[in-house]
Amino acid sequence: MKNYLLALKLRRKVCEEFKKIFNDVDFLICPSSTDVAFKLGDNDKTPIDIYLSDMFTTPVNLAGLPAVSLPTNFYKNLPVGMQIIGNHFEEEKILNLANLYQENSIWHKEFPGELS
């Protein structure tokens, strides 16, 4: 029970910090992951590698915030993405911004070199 209460306290703190941020901005834009996507069939990733790759999405999910991930580029034929994060109940705003980005970029139409 003690760990559960500590987790709730941490979640509340994360929510409070995001609330402060969204007092000043409408969106946060940051990478979707700390690394490129894992290669298909890549089984040499450790649990730590997998955990670290989620560092940018975990706090957002913990706070229950809406977000969308979009392709932005490739690195060594692996996709790189960004996420647009909005405040609670601002799904329409982030989807409109994501659509605007997509209308003005080509990344959603591109394939890694080995697939094209």
pLDDT in tens, 25-35: 999 999 998 88
Q: What is the pLDDT of residue 29?
A: 97
Tell the residue number behind the tokens 């894992």, with chain if given.
38
User: Given pLDDT bands bounded at 50, 70 and 90, which one contains residue 114?
Assistant: low
In the chain, domain spans: 2-109
Q: For residue 42, is pLDDT > 90?
A: no
Of 62, 68, 65, 73, nearest in space to 112 by CA = 73
User: Given pLDDT bands bounded at 50, 70 and 90, which one contains residue 44?
Assistant: confident
DSSP H helical segments within the chain, as ranges? 2-21, 47-53, 58-63, 91-103
